[in-house]
Chains A and B, each alone.
Chain A
Amino acid sequence: GENVEQHPSTLSVQEGDSAVIKCTYSDSASNYFPWYKQELGKRPQLIIDIRSNVGEKKDQRIAVTLNKTAKHFSLHITETQPEDSAVYFCAASTQHPDMRFGAGTRLTVKP
């Protein structure tokens, strides 16, 4: 089955700097890659997703890149703000819709 690895497990940046979180997946059939943000005690919320027919997608300060050959995808947050502090999860799924999540990255943005 699909296996998703996520790095780093914790990330601390200064406000205004960029943050990058990387994930790798094992199943070459995976074709949908969402990123979720989870604040303490809250539900995971989708912040951006990418499908396998696209290499990059951007939404304001957030971008995701996908390298299908290498089977990895990354989340990029620019101009980080303290409210970006949360745990971020990547995930991968195929047409078979059980989504596999990474272990999460705890991002701390220091003011």
Chain B
Amino acid sequence: GAGVSQTPSNKVTEKGKYVELRCDPISGHTALYWYRQSLGQGPEFLIYFQGTGAADDSGLPNDRFFAVRPEGSVSTLKIQRTERGDSAVYLCASSSNPGLNEQFFGPGTRLTVL
């Protein structure tokens, strides 16, 4: 079946601009996660959704970052007033059950802030 998909695959923007990154989880997966991966580092947790609600947003670095999942499926990560330090690969993952089940990752969106 179809895996986790993310769009766009690459996004180049200018400092100060607003960006939206989209994640389509595996159909039926109730749990959805966003991670940020900088070069040479492991994925860093940002936010976790169970259904439509953000069950844990403790990883969001500041209030410029926000994510939604209005219908419990597709999620959008929104970054306002982008900074050069936001440049990274943003990974989305989903799982059928949170906590003890495999998280399936999407291919990521490479964000470059000039």
Identify the A interface with B (CB < 8 A): 1, 4, 6, 31-32, 34, 36, 42-46, 49, 51, 89, 91, 93-104
Q: Once the chains bind, are B42 and A103 in contact (CB under 8 Å)?
A: yes
Residues of B within 8 A of A42 (CB): 107
Q: Which residue of B lies closest to A93 (CB)?
A: B99
Please, how many angstroms separate the alpha-carbon atoms of A39 and B109 in the complex?
Answer: 16
Q: Once the chains bind, are B48 and A43 in contact (CB under 8 Å)?
A: no
Question: Measured between C-beta atoms, what is the minimum distance from A9 to chain B in Å?
Answer: 9
Partner of B56, one of A6, A36, A96, A100: A96
Q: Once the chains bind, are A32 and B100 in contact (CB under 8 Å)?
A: yes
Contact residues on B (Cβ < 8 Å of other chain), bracket: 20 to 34
Partner of A98, one of B41, B58, B91, B102: B58
Identify the B interface with A (CB < 8 A): 4, 31, 33, 35, 40-45, 48, 56, 58-59, 91, 95, 98-100, 102-108
Task: Known contacts A43-B91, A43-B107, A100-B45; decide if A95 and B40 are in contact (CB<8 Å).
Answer: no
Q: Once the chains bind, are A97 and B42 in contact (CB under 8 Å)?
A: no
Using A31-B100, A32-B99, A46-B104 as known contacts, list a sample of 15 further A-B pairs with CB atoms less than 8 Å apart, ordered by residue number in A: A42-B107, A43-B91, A43-B107, A44-B91, A49-B102, A97-B31, A97-B33, A98-B45, A99-B33, A99-B103, A101-B42, A102-B42, A103-B41, A103-B42, A104-B40
Question: Measured between C-beta atoms, what is the minimum distance from B91 to chain A in Å?
Answer: 7
Residues of B within 8 A of A93 (CB): 99
Please, how many angstroms separate the alpha-carbon atoms of A95 and B50 in the complex?
Answer: 13
Q: Once the chains bind, are A95 and B43 in contact (CB under 8 Å)?
A: no
Closest 6 CB pairs of A and B: A101-B42, A97-B98, A43-B105, A97-B99, A98-B45, A89-B42
Partner of B48, one of A6, A45, A97, A102: A97
Q: Which residue of B lies closest to A31 (CB)?
A: B100
Q: Once the chains bind, are B99 and A96 in contact (CB under 8 Å)?
A: yes
Question: Measured between C-beta atoms, what is the minimum distance from A87 to chain B in Å?
Answer: 9
Residues of A within 8 A of B43 (CB): 44, 89, 99, 101
Residues of A within 8 A of B33 (CB): 97-99
Residues of B within 8 A of A31 (CB): 100
